Amino acid sequence: MDNDRINQIIEKHQCEASSLIQVMLEIQSIYHWLPKEALELVSDKLKVPLTRIQHIATFYKAFSLVPKGRHGIHICMGTACHVRGAGRILDSVQDLTGIKPGETDLDMKFSLETVNCLGCCALGPVMEINGKTHGKMAPAKTADVLKNYD
Amino acid sequence: MSDIILTIDGKEVSAGEGSTILEAARSVGIKIPTLCNHEKLEPYGGCRICTVEAEGRGGTQLVAACLYPVEKNLVVRTRSVKVDRIRKMILELLLAHAPDSMEMQDLMKEYGADRNRFEKEASFCIHCGLCVRYCAEVKKANAVGFIDRGTRREISFIPEIASSECWNCKECFPLCPTSALQAAYVLTEALNSLTHPFRHGPEE
């Protein structure tokens, strides 16, 4: 972990306690998770108790207290995707990656999450990887999509 | 401070501006049950067991007595069929988490609550927040806090802080209505016995 980089983020927000979530979001976007050392530094500089930071970090799904893989897979489980077979997409991705929703594989390659709607129901079933949307998925097509990421 | 006259259970009560229904009721000896209230802490309104009926401004509302400020001509009923029914329900829901909580046994009898009404989900914590708020507001140690949200919310100690602060304090222990706090403390201590050994003994 790079202390200077975290200090830069904190200074950008003038050590304001009210910028706590912004600071946490920036750390999250750099490391894809919130390392404990980083949070201790934030707590120290922003004068916010660690209990409060821990509460916020566990409250919002955008934050993670465990390391995440290089590629984040989000599979939509919303109503439209569900009726179009999102469950089978999830099954096939689970088989291919060997991980369940909420988990990260040992190579730190993929992290799998389910989400409740990605807002493009006409494309269902939808799978999103690193923010890129893969619409009209089929269990047989998932392997082709996943092999583009390493 | 000007005094406000209101009616609680048919009794005229005068209370200072900004005080709550709970304080006004206690000043004349009317009992309102509470679980998350503590004189040294800011009102929290977490347990809702102090729910009362407040009539004023043209309608009757159900409000938390520990938070609701007194108003002129407010008519408060601390016991009514509706209030009792709500308190019974709240108790039954809390008892599903902590069926043997000592503090809730008397309330359980008084309101006829059935602790077996809901399926047991013994997490023991009823989220009154007494330990969390006491640690933050009175001791300023912030060793214990809430994590997660909704049905998964629970209390959690920060091992680094707890290992140095808690042994000589433990003032939150008697506050806990269910002993879930003590369990969380011992668990933290056991899980961190090598990385953050807890101090055992007097201050050096």
Structure token pair of residue B91: 């108790």
ipTM beyond 0.95?
no
pLDDT attached to residue B1: 55
* Contact status, residue A102 vs residue A94, Cβ threshold 8 Å: no
Point out the least confidently predicted range of A18-27, A141-150, B35-44, B194-203.
Answer: B194-203
Non-local (6+) Cβ contacts of B168 within 8 A are B199, B202, B203
Collect all residues of chain B within an 8 Å Cβ-Cβ radius of residue A55.
Answer: 145-147
Nearest to B157 by CA among B180, B188, B191: B188
**Residue B204 included in any domain:** no
Cα A28 to Cα A19, A32, A64, A145, B178: the distances in Å are 14, 5, 8, 26, 36
**Residue B63 included in any domain:** yes
Cα B41 to chain centroid distance, Å, stands at 10
β-bridge pairing B51-56 and B59-64? antiparallel
Taking the CA of residue B169 and the nearest CA in chain A, the distance in Å comes to: 18
pLDDT at B168 over 70: yes
pLDDT attached to residue A43: 94
Taking the CA of residue B188 and the nearest CA in chain A, the distance in Å comes to: 14
Collect all residues of chain A within an 8 Å Cβ-Cβ radius of residue B143.
Answer: 51
pLDDT at B112 over 60: yes
Our count of domains for chain B comes to: 2
| Domains parsed from chain A with CATH numbers | 3-59 (no CATH), 71-146 (3.40.30.10)
Dihedral class, residue B11 (left if φ above 0, else alpha if ψ from -120 to 50, else beta): beta
Could you give phi then psi for residue B53, rounded to 5 degrees? -90, 130
**Residue B109 included in any domain:** no
**Residue B197 included in any domain:** no
The 3-state DSSP class for residue B89 equals: helix
Q: Do A50 and B142 touch (CB under 8 A)?
A: yes
* Contact status, residue A102 vs residue A68, Cβ threshold 8 Å: no
Q: Tell me which residue range forms the domain holding B168.
A: 130-191
Nearest to A125 by CA among A82, A93, A95: A82
| Higher local confidence (pLDDT), B121 or B96 | B96
Number of DSSP helices (H) and strands (E) in chain B, helices first: 6, 7
pLDDT attached to residue B198: 81
**Residue B54 included in any domain:** yes
CATH number of the domain that residue B69 is part of? 3.10.20.740
Q: Do A49 and B136 touch (CB under 8 A)?
A: yes
**Residue B199 included in any domain:** no
Section B65-88 average pLDDT: 94
Section B79-105 average pLDDT: 93
Q: Do A54 and B144 touch (CB under 8 A)?
A: no
Whether the upstream peptide bond of residue A125 has omega within 30° of 0, thus cis, is: yes
Q: Tens of pLDDT along B20-70?
A: 999 999 999 999 999 999 999 999 999 999 999 999 888 899 999 999 999
* Contact status, residue B28 vs residue B17, Cβ threshold 8 Å: no
**Residue B120 included in any domain:** no
Number of DSSP helices (H) and strands (E) in chain A, helices first: 7, 4
The Cα A48–Cα A122 span in angstroms is 44
Q: Do B136 and A51 touch (CB under 8 A)?
A: yes
Collect all residues of chain A within an 8 Å Cβ-Cβ radius of residue B129.
Answer: none
Q: Do A55 and B145 touch (CB under 8 A)?
A: yes
**Residue B102 included in any domain:** no
- For chains A and B, CB pairs below 8 A equal 31
Section A98-110 average pLDDT: 91
Taking the CA of residue A53 and the nearest CA in chain B, the distance in Å comes to: 9
pLDDT attached to residue B107: 93
